[in-house]
Structure 1
């Protein structure tokens, strides 16, 4: 090959190489960095798998039970419910339980400082909106409240306190607490911190 032809070939090769290096990425190469069609991020997937919370009339939440809401005064509790509710004892400023004459059995309303601060459930017919009730397993609690559960040792048994922190930041002063025997839920409650975490209730 003559020097002229060789020089032309080298010049052409350099030009082609430069064009290849400076050419914009094709749509195919750009798409290879994006998630496959239909894929979602882990955060989106997690949010999508959380069932919508629908509260029934016989469900306990961190906010209360039925017409009785955490934070209500004793007068507001009486006005909000057609059932007769009265304070057990005489001191409305101390920690006491309310007597709910026509309410469901084994639903205990704690009042402190003249307001509702906590509701305890020992009735097997009552559940949370997530479906947890007496007899539910610790694994079920962990599954239904994934990412919200703090496990604490029980003070008197080999069981646990499963403390649920609400997802909504505006509910940061509220908790649900499930007491277990190490396997199953034996009782549960919802209400304000710190009262909802009192181990011995009002005593």
Structure 2
């Protein structure tokens, strides 16, 4: 057998070494702006936030801002004329106030209410008879709300609001309208001397006309 010259052997070894050390094309650079694909079984940030912030609708102040919550028949699932026990059960969330006492008049307020005058449910003789609103976050039946002028209200209610002097506020007004439906309540707006609505309430007679509330 013939032996290859040393120079030829050296050339062959060099070629093999070069082929073995060639890494080929370099990998494509990673685009940092491209988000990684999330694990299909992992919760998304939105799902995590929803789960963390989920609360009872009745314990959420935003739920009470719904324009359909306040009606002449009650507030949400609370029906005027129902027992206090039924009203508490219908609310479902926490209500702050004294325990059920069929002999007295008292108010219950949602747990999130910071100022009782903003939203309160009147109970008398063991029944839910009225609710009071002093915040512009709730909308009255028909569209009225705190901050509106008497003229705006009259236009909104087609001039059907009855007007009378306020018992305690000089130059103040009380604007009211009946339900016109047996069993439903009466809507009463209180306006200050500036003509702006400061509070409103819905309730059954005679409680809806208690100017002092339960006092």
1:119 and 2:131 aligned:
yes
> What is the 5 A alignment of 1:26-65?
56=66, 59-65=69-75
Match among 116, 132, 138 for residue 144 of structure 2:
132
Instruction: Name 1:179's counterpart in structure 2.
Output: 190
Instruction: Name 1:40's counterpart in structure 2.
Output: none
Instruction: Name 2:58's counterpart in structure 1.
Output: none
Deviations 1:99-130 (A, max 9, x none): 42256862111000100111000121111242
Instruction: Name 1:22's counterpart in structure 2.
Output: none
Instruction: Name 2:53's counterpart in structure 1.
Output: none
Q: Distance in 1 between the 2:69 and 2:78 partners?
A: 11
C-alpha contact 2:105 2:125 (8 A) present in aligned 1: yes
Instruction: Name 2:158's counterpart in structure 1.
Output: 146
SS for the counterpart of 2:86 is helix
Match among 140, 147, 163 for residue 176 of structure 2:
163
Q: Distance in 1 between the 2:204 and 2:141 partners?
A: 18
After superposition, the Cα gap between the structure-2 partners of 1:193 and 1:136, relative to the gap in structure 1 and judged at 3 Å, is same
Q: Distance in 1 between the 2:91 and 2:130 partners?
A: 17
Match among 74, 77, 83 for residue 87 of structure 2:
77
Q: Which has the larger radius of gyration?
A: 2
Any unmatched runs of 5+ in structure 1?
1-55
Deviations 1:48-77 (A, max 9, x none): xxxxxxxx4554222221222211211111
Aligned length: 147
After superposition, the Cα gap between the structure-2 partners of 1:130 and 1:90, relative to the gap in structure 1 and judged at 3 Å, is closer
C-alpha contact 1:149 1:162 (8 A) present in aligned 2: yes
SS for the counterpart of 1:125 is coil
TM-score, scaled relative to structure 1: 0.64
Q: Give RMSD over aligned pairs.
A: 2.4
> What is the 5 A alignment of 1:82-93?
82-85=92-95, 87-88=97-98, 91-93=101-103
Match among 182, 193, 197 for residue 209 of structure 2:
197
Q: Distance in 1 between the 2:134 and 2:108 partners?
A: 15
Deviations 1:80-111 (A, max 9, x none): 12212254266332111114225686211100
Q: Distance in 2 between the 1:90 and 1:64 partners?
A: 19
C-alpha contact 2:189 2:197 (8 A) present in aligned 1: yes
Q: Distance in 2 between the 1:141 and 1:90 partners?
A: 36
C-alpha contact 1:109 1:119 (8 A) present in aligned 2: yes
